[in-house]
Amino acid sequence: MSERIERRLWLAASPEDVWDVVTGADWLADEVNLDLRPGGDASFRSSSEDKAGWVEEARPPSDSPDGSGRLAFWWASDDEPATRVELTLEPARGWDGPEGTRLRIVESRPLDVLDLIGTPLPRSGGVTYGPALVAA
């Protein structure tokens, strides 16, 4: 088992609109740079801390036949172990029609998975993710 934060909420907006905000320039941090493709670089600047990472998966709702979206990325600041963040967006009916989104967010540090894989994960922006970091 590893530490894990999970949040779910229903939003009165389409998955496309929610996607625009959550991948936007100022939601995940004060200043966000996200290269929305697998392996893309990511950087997050805030008043309290800066983080760097990479994108594992970025599937906007507009590209998906069922209208769902998924963003998975890894991030870490210099003195922290990397954690994985996964945002899932699903279209959900509102009272008057399908104009809602179920958003699920999971932030976790999948220690068990990394230990099991036993090989370094992709390296990006000077931050190494993988067992070396986990074992430190």
Backbone phi and psi for residue 14, each to the nearest 5 degrees, phi listed first: -70, 155
| Residue 39: CB minimum distance to another protein, A | 24
**With binding defined as CB under 8 A, does residue 1 bind another protein?**
yes
**With binding defined as CB under 8 A, does residue 7 bind another protein?**
yes
| Residue 6: CB minimum distance to another protein, A | 9
Q: Where are the alpha helices (DSSP H) in 1-136?
A: 15-22, 111-117, 131-135
Of 47, 63, 65, 79, the one binding another protein (CB under 8 A) is 79
**With binding defined as CB under 8 A, does residue 51 bind another protein?**
no
**With binding defined as CB under 8 A, does residue 116 bind another protein?**
no
Residues with Cβ within 8 Å of residue 78, at least 6 apart in sequence: none
Query: Using CA atoms, how far apart are residues 124 and 135, in angstroms rounded to an integer?
Result: 19
| Residue 100: CB minimum distance to another protein, A | 11
| Residue 124: CB minimum distance to another protein, A | 20
Which is nearer to another protein, 1 or 116 (by Cβ)?
Answer: 1
Query: Using CA atoms, how far apart are residues 136 and 129, in angstroms rounded to an integer?
Result: 11
Of 15, 18, 54, 55, the one binding another protein (CB under 8 A) is 18
Cross-strand pairs, 110: none
Q: Is the dihedral of CA 127, 129, 132, 136 positive or negative?
A: positive
Residues 81-110 that bind another protein (CB under 8 A): 81, 83, 103, 105, 107, 109
